[in-house]
Amino acid sequence: MEQQVFEEVLIFAGLMATMGCLTGIIITFLKHRAPRLKSGEVTAGLDAIGERLGRLETAVDATALEVERIAEGQRFTTKLLADRSGASAFADRPRGGSATPH
């Protein structure tokens, strides 16, 4: 029984060592195959991304301003309609007696 446990532990340790070695080999292989960028290329890429983000920020600000203008117009229209319907509701109401048609 102890012999079997010892063999299983050895097999497990061997598999872990093999996996570690293979992982190291694969990582090394991938690092050497990856294209290397020069620092100037990285800086130029970051500058281009920064410019795009700046344009995006400007567009979002303009859109937010337009949405606020639309909301103000909606509030104004709603207020006018409420004032108009409130005044006409009181004007249409009969002054005395019942409001029923019979």
- pLDDT per position as a tens digit, 39-50: 777 788 889 999
DSSP 20-87: HHHHHHHHHHHHHHSPPPPHHHHHHHHHHHHHHHHHHHHHHHHHHHHHHHHHHHHHHHHHHHHHHHHH
The pLDDT of residue 68 is 94
Q: Which residues, at least 6 apart from 93, have a Cβ–Cβ distance to it below 8 Å?
A: 99
Whether residue 2 is predicted with pLDDT greater than 90 in this model: the reply is no
Q: What are 12's two structure tokens?
A: 């497990």
- Regarding pTM above 0.85, the answer is no
The pLDDT of residue 12 is 87
Whether residue 91 is predicted with pLDDT greater than 60 in this model: the reply is no
Whether residue 13 is predicted with pLDDT greater than 60 in this model: the reply is yes
Whether residue 71 is predicted with pLDDT greater than 90 in this model: the reply is yes
Whether residue 76 is predicted with pLDDT greater than 90 in this model: the reply is yes
- pLDDT interval class at 74 (50, 70, 90): very high
Region for 97 from its dihedrals, namely left if φ exceeds 0, alpha if ψ lies in -120 to 50, beta otherwise:
left
